[in-house]
């Protein structure tokens, strides 16, 4: 990797990243139900989280990129078309089913799961699997004969069947065939997809190439940290992939203004004539791909996001569930929002300005987007 890095300004890096995230267009994936699997395929994954202060993050991430997104579109992709499935990336996520072979090797490994599932006995596992095989898909609510056990971890369940379902899920024997809120329906993976067996695992070399390509597609400008988010052990293998591509001229090393770490970009993206982003307003969920890697966000957007849901109230700066507001290619404000579903209102807990000038015009644009966001929030 002796090639001298090309200087890259933060402004250009922002434009490249926004282009890769498809946040510089109003409807980059089109409209209707098919826009949802298209968005998941482009992003590579859409994170799932339990917090429901405003909107489940997976729905908001898709809504941000699909103006006419409806929750039933994701349900159709998962349960009817089966074009997406749930599994673990850096967190539980929706992933394109076409990519499942890059995850089946992890499904076949039991290493790393023992700490979570030591309490699961062979009998527990056989019991729940036998029940699914005989009676079809089920939720944990369908199992009411568990004898509760002491928890061995604060996040663990006292129900042996729940832990057995989770273990079978991580092993790929069961998949989540349907989700209502955070209630998951488990089905045999092969039966759900109509397969005789799981797809053959991709060789590790192909998986490294897949992870690199996924990051380049969704991030534009990449670093080892951004490709291997919460997956540091793979950095050495990814570095080899990057080195090979630099030598072949498929990647260009860039010196991002003010950044300490190495970055790379494709020649096509580096040379693309990207115009300044239009003034589109996006209210970004804290788990949005643009926000979740906070060091990267700070390095490129000069904004340090704080996720303060677990911070004592007196120490919060932006608020319990603060959401950055992107207008064009600048994060101009942070809003702490909460949905009052009983009264049918989106509540503004706190509005923090980051932009010093032009606030009146910005406020009108942001409030217009808040009105649209409120209608989406309350449409069930």
In a shared domain, residues 182 and 231: no
In a shared domain, residues 6 and 42: no
Query: What is the CB neighbour count within 10 angstroms for residue 105?
Result: 15
User: For residue 207, is it within any domain?
Assistant: no
* Alpha-carbon span 240 to 238, nearest angstrom: 5
Please give the tally of structural domains in the chain: 3
User: For residue 208, is it within any domain?
Assistant: no
pLDDT for 146: 59
User: For residue 341, is it within any domain?
Assistant: yes
pLDDT for 275: 83
In a shared domain, residues 148 and 268: no
pLDDT for 251: 98
Cβ–Cβ < 8 Å for 112, 156: no
pLDDT for 111: 40
User: For residue 209, is it within any domain?
Assistant: no
pLDDT for 2: 53
In a shared domain, residues 223 and 286: no
- The dihedral built from the CA positions of residue 62, 64, 66 and 70, taken in this order, carries a sign that is positive
User: For residue 210, is it within any domain?
Assistant: no
Last residue of a domain, one of 226, 255, 274: 274
Tokens of 185: 């329906």
Last residue of a domain, one of 274, 302, 322: 274
In a shared domain, residues 247 and 295: no
pLDDT for 20: 98
Cβ–Cβ < 8 Å for 16, 252: no
Last residue of a domain, one of 243, 274, 305: 274
pLDDT for 150: 56
pTM to 2 decimal places: 0.93
User: For residue 144, is it within any domain?
Assistant: yes
Cβ–Cβ < 8 Å for 140, 162: yes
Q: What is the DSSP string of 296-320?
A: HHHHHHS------TTS-GGG-SS-T
In a shared domain, residues 16 and 35: no
pLDDT for 1: 46
In a shared domain, residues 85 and 129: yes
Cβ–Cβ < 8 Å for 338, 51: no
User: For residue 149, is it within any domain?
Assistant: yes
pLDDT beneath 70: ranges in the chain: 1-2, 110-118, 144-158, 380
In a shared domain, residues 197 and 308: no
In a shared domain, residues 252 and 291: no
In a shared domain, residues 59 and 187: yes
In a shared domain, residues 45 and 106: yes
Residue 243 is part of which domain span?
1-24+215-274
In a shared domain, residues 270 and 307: no
- The dihedral built from the CA positions of residue 210, 214, 220 and 224, taken in this order, carries a sign that is negative
């Amino acid at each position: 990797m002796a090639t001298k890095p090309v200087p890259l300004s933060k402004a250009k890096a922002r434009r490249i990243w926004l282009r890769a995230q498809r946040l510089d267009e109003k409807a980059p994936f089109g409209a209707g139900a098919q826009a949802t699997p298209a968005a998941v395929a482009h992003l590579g994954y859409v994170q799932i989280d339990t917090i429901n202060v405003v909107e489940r993050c997976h729905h908001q991430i898709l809504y941000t990129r699909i103006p006419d997104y409806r929750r039933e579109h994701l349900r159709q992709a998962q349960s009817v078309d089966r074009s997406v499935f749930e599994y673990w990336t850096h967190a539980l996520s929706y992933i394109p089913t076409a990519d499942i072979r890059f995850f089946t090797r992890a499904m076949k490994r039991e290493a790393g799961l023992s700490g979570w599932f030591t309490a699961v006995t062979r009998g527990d596992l056989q019991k729940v699997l036998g029940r699914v095989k005989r009676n079809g898909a089920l939720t944990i609510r369908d199992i009411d004969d568990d004898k509760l056990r002491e928890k061995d971890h604060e996040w663990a369940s006292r129900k042996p069947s729940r832990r057995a379902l989770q273990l079978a899920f991580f092993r790929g024997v069961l998949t989540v065939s349907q989700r209502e809120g955070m209630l998951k329906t488990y089905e045999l993976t092969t039966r759900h997809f109509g397969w005789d067996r799981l797809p053959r695992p991709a060789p590790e070399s192909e998986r490294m190439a897949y992870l690199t390509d996924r990051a380049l597609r969704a991030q534009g400008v990449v670093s080892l940290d951004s490709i291997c988010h919460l997956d540091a052990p793979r950095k050495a293998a990814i570095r080899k992939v990057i080195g090979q591509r630099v030598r072949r001229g498929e990647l260009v090393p860039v010196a991002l203004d003010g950044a300490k770490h190495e970055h790379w970009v494709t020649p096509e993206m580096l040379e693309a004539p990207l115009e300044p982003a239009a003034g589109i307003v996006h209210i970004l969920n804290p788990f949005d791909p643009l926000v979740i890697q906070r060091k990267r966000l700070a390095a490129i957007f000069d904004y340090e996001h704080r996720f303060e849901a677990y911070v004592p109230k007196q120490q919060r700066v932006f608020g319990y569930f603060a959401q950055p507001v992107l207008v064009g290619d600048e994060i101009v404000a942070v809003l702490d929002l909460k949905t009052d579903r009983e009264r049918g209102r989106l509540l503004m807990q706190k509005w923090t300005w980051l932009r010093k000038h032009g606030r009146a015009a910005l406020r009108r644009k942001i409030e217009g987007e808040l009105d649209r966001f409120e209608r989406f929030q309350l449409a069930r």
